[in-house]
Chains A and B, each alone.
Chain A
Amino acid sequence: MDLYQELILDHSKRPHHAGLREPFDAEVHHINPTCGDEVTLRVDVTGTGPDAVVTDISYAAQGCSISVASTSVLAEEVIGHPVDEALETFEAMRTMLTSKGQVAGDEDVIGDGVAFAGVSKYPARVKCALLGWTAFTDALARAGVDISSTSSPSPQGVSS
């Protein structure tokens, strides 16, 4: 089956940048209530406005291969990048995941995220793939970053 690309399995077995680290500006806890997947995610941002950079994303994820791998890809693609660019990556990832198989995704924008293109054909799994990403945008907002360039996070996101 084309859903479980090697990249996804690799990221899920050895998630990049996993663990919860200091320092951080905001921490959120998001769950997927239909399956019980959970992620605690911290974000550390330096600079403000157009100069803001995502210095670190650290996380503890418990869930299926799709949700863990997607969070790993998030950390891989976003750490060290400007916030504006990170939000563009999020938008591109979300557009692909919610496209029902119509958008393949641009590797230049979402990197290893293209491996998740097959997820969009399985509506029940889209929430899994978006769990870490919506947690990330929520954490950015809590860190005082203006995320109004993105539409509101997925309604499945539950903050603690």
Chain B
Amino acid sequence: MPDVQPFTDRELAALRGEFPILARSVRDGRPLVYLDSGATSHKPTAVLDAERAFYEQHNAAVHRGAHQLAEEATDEFESARATVAGFVGAPADEVVFTKNATEALNLVAYAFSNAAPTDGPKDERFVLAPGDEVLVTEMEHHANLVPWQELCRRTGATLRWVPVAGDGSLDLSTLPDLLTERTKVFAFTHVSNVLGTVNPVTELAQRAHAVGALVVVDACQSVPHLSVDVSTLGADFIAFSGHKVYGPMGVGVLWGRAELLEVMPPFLTGGSMIELVTMERSTYAPAPQKFEAGVPNAAQAVGLAAAVRWVEAIGIDRIHAHEAALVDALLAGLAERPWVRVVGPPRGVDRGGAVAFVVDGVHAHDVGQVLDDAGVAVRVGHHCAWPLHRVLDAAATTRASFGVHNGLDDVQSLLDALDRVPAIFGIDVDERRAG
């Protein structure tokens, strides 16, 4: 996208004005420099207004009742589904609203072998047994790892994983051994929440499909930062969270191919998801209702729809270009500091909106504390990717992650605050430079 430019100063100032929380200060009056959008994004006024408007004007339990509010609430909810589906290039009935991305991934994992049984034979693609394999990667967030560990434990299938290479990419030379006709599921992240690595989803999906495996993609760190179109992506399922793409907390999205959603058993059961219920047994509504038991998170879905309309109005390609420029500036700044070790792909390689690093000799918790003292909010720890941190030989990393409201001034604030770290913890910068 060579013609797509980062935001101008004027555009950035206008965007910042749309986030009420950026007006507050932290730690004794310092301006908030929020570099933790990878954990959760802030919410623009348009989203807050949409959620409030739902409660003020249409509030009712959707898919129930015949009164006017119930009709309106149902329309709002289903219209939100269509909007969110359109955002990722999907038909509306292929989108399931969940409480978060973790639930969306669990919904798929629980479709295999052990979920509430449906009448008739099970679809072979969703049967797992000893001898079958589930393939993940070493860079997964726990949300796309632990559900598959548990699935393997329940079914006797074997969990395998693609290792991460030194440059933060997946070591695809291992794939011929790991991705075989025994593989029933290949679950991997689109963009690493730690490394920023962008994985080649389409290529991986083609190779998985060639051996008959289903492809589950964690799109939490891609959907807010780059264009995701499921009609060309090649995946069978993607999961992402609403709160990372400027939407409310409490709503996540599962997209799945219609023919797969149709044969999958439900995850949670109860009201709303049924077709017919007697005292002895029940039949289920078609997807996506089959996967949305109970009164759904309609206000949050409406808020998420407002968020994706807001993102579409800005343009996801411009957001990507803007954040890529910030990532590049941060990588350049960190490269001038030999006492900082960046994890993940080198400068010049396409990345998501996150940059994680280690200050050798100083624990990330302590780095984060010094940054926080300057009003710079970052994430520290293993970022729910503990196995990856073992590979990186780092107990914890410090991660800066960008959102639309960040600018080069925020990058500079981070670097300035970071420069206080060596003195506080007695790291000899000159010695490291000489060494």
User: Which A residues lie at the B interface, using CB under 8 A?
Assistant: 1, 3-4, 9, 13, 34-38, 62-66, 122, 125, 128
A82 CB to closest chain B CB (Å) equals 33
A interface footprint on B355-389 (CB within 8 Å = 1, 0 otherwise): 00000001111100110010000001110001001
Q: Are A125 and B370 in contact (CB under 8 A)?
A: no
CB contact between A9 and one of B380, B386, B426 (< 8 Å): that residue: B426
Q: Are B363 and A64 in contact (CB under 8 A)?
A: yes
In the complex, chain A residues whose CB is within 8 Å of the CB of B386: 36
Chain B at the A interface: SS class: helix
Q: How far is the CA of A9 from the CA of B369 in the complex (A)?
A: 14
Q: Are B373 and A1 in contact (CB under 8 A)?
A: yes
Q: In this complex, what residue of B is CB-closest to A2?
A: B373
Q: Are A4 and B424 in contact (CB under 8 A)?
A: yes
B423 CB to closest chain A CB (Å) equals 11
Q: Are A63 and B369 in contact (CB under 8 A)?
A: no
The answer to whether the Cβ of B425 comes within 8 Å of any Cβ in the partner chain is: yes
Q: Are A128 and B365 in contact (CB under 8 A)?
A: yes
Q: Are A3 and B369 in contact (CB under 8 A)?
A: yes
B residues contacting the other copy or chain, number (CB 8 A): 18
Q: Are A65 and B381 in contact (CB under 8 A)?
A: no
Q: Are A65 and B396 in contact (CB under 8 A)?
A: no
Q: In this complex, what residue of B is CB-closest to A34?
A: B381
Q: Are A65 and B425 in contact (CB under 8 A)?
A: yes
In the complex, chain B residues whose CB is within 8 Å of the CB of A66: 365-366
The answer to whether the Cβ of B395 comes within 8 Å of any Cβ in the partner chain is: yes
User: Which B residues lie at the A interface, using CB under 8 A?
Assistant: 362-366, 369-370, 373, 380-382, 386, 389, 395-396, 424-426
Q: How many residue-residue contacts, CB under 8 A, span A and B? A: 51
Q: In this complex, what residue of B is CB-closest to A38?
A: B395
A11 CB to closest chain B CB (Å) equals 13
Q: In this complex, what residue of A is CB-closest to B390?
A: A36
Q: How far is the CA of A63 from the CA of B396 in the complex (A)?
A: 9
A-B contact pairs, 6 of them (CB 8 A): A34-B381, A35-B364, A36-B386, A38-B395, A65-B362, A65-B366
In the complex, chain B residues whose CB is within 8 Å of the CB of A9: 424-426
In the complex, chain A residues whose CB is within 8 Å of the CB of B381: 34-36
- A-B interface, 8 closest residue pairs, ranked by CB to CB distance from nearest: A64-B365, A64-B363, A35-B381, A1-B373, A36-B382, A36-B395, A65-B366, A64-B366
In the complex, chain B residues whose CB is within 8 Å of the CB of A64: 363-366
A122 CB to closest chain B CB (Å) equals 7
In the complex, chain A residues whose CB is within 8 Å of the CB of B425: 4, 9, 65
List 11 additional contacts besides A35-B395, A63-B395, A64-B365; criterion CB under 8 Å.
A1-B369, A1-B370, A9-B426, A13-B426, A35-B382, A36-B382, A65-B362, A65-B366, A125-B365, A125-B369, A128-B365
Q: In this complex, what residue of A is CB-closest to B394?
A: A36
In the complex, chain B residues whose CB is within 8 Å of the CB of A36: 381-382, 386, 389, 395-396
In the complex, chain B residues whose CB is within 8 Å of the CB of A3: 369, 373
Q: How far is the CA of A38 from the CA of B396 in the complex (A)?
A: 11
CB contact between A62 and one of B364, B373, B395, B424 (< 8 Å): that residue: B395
CB contact between B363 and one of A1, A34, A63 (< 8 Å): that residue: A63
